[in-house]
Amino acid sequence: MFKKIIVFFVLCLAGNLLSSGFSFSQGFNAVTTPDGVNLVAVGNAGQLYRSGSGGTTWVSVPNGALDMNDATSLGNDVWIAADNGTVYKTLKTSSTVNTYNVGSSVDLHSIDFIDANTGFVCGKSGAVYRTVNGGVNWTSANSGIAAVDLNAIDFVNSSSGRVAGDNGSIYVTADGGASWTSEVSGTVKI
């Protein structure tokens, strides 16, 4: 329930950003806030915006040209999944944006961290990667997943998680991504 409230709050704040006069024709792909005051919104072509006022004012932060597809935050940290195997890490406040790579050029669609060190990212062609050092290094963690585009990843702890993708695909793990099992979703569209 708390997660739904935060998502609603973030979407309202993103609407405030869009109505505040910023011209960003590509739209945003994700927005995250660890505390409801500091927000980070990301989009295509390296578009990254920060707000330290709960969404009342925003600042554009130039960040290259890659499409940034998802963002997540925990405590003071913000991680961003982008194209070309790129993961960005920054702080919730104005700070440097650090660039890391999962070791592949695959486009990454979704990212989730369960603590400051352990995180997962997923993307095209069944790609799933895991980090245990805050995003600095990544290892492949997709045993048992077909070459389907994965669009969302969510972990409840370091062992249990799910990914969802194209054609109604859903996979579940109980061992931190070492192995995945397909679940029947009952649909061919997600």
Q: Which amino acid appears at position 31 of this protein?
A: V
- Could you report the per-residue pLDDT of 114-171, keeping only the tens digit for each? 999 999 999 999 999 999 999 999 999 999 999 999 999 999 999 999 999 999 999 9
Q: Which amino acid appears at position 181 of this protein?
A: T
- Could you report the per-residue pLDDT of 126-136, keeping only the tens digit for each? 999 999 999 99
Q: Which amino acid appears at position 125 of this protein?
A: S
- Mean pLDDT, the chain, as a whole number? 88
70 pairs with which residues across the strands? Answer: 81
Rounded distance between C-alpha atoms, residue 79 and residue 184, angstroms? 30
The pTM of this model reads: 0.85
Phi, psi torsion values for 157, nearest 5 degrees: -160, -175
User: 1-101 — its CATH code?
Assistant: 2.40.10.500
Residue tagged 């309202």 (tokens): 12
Rounded distance between C-alpha atoms, residue 106 and residue 134, angstroms? 20
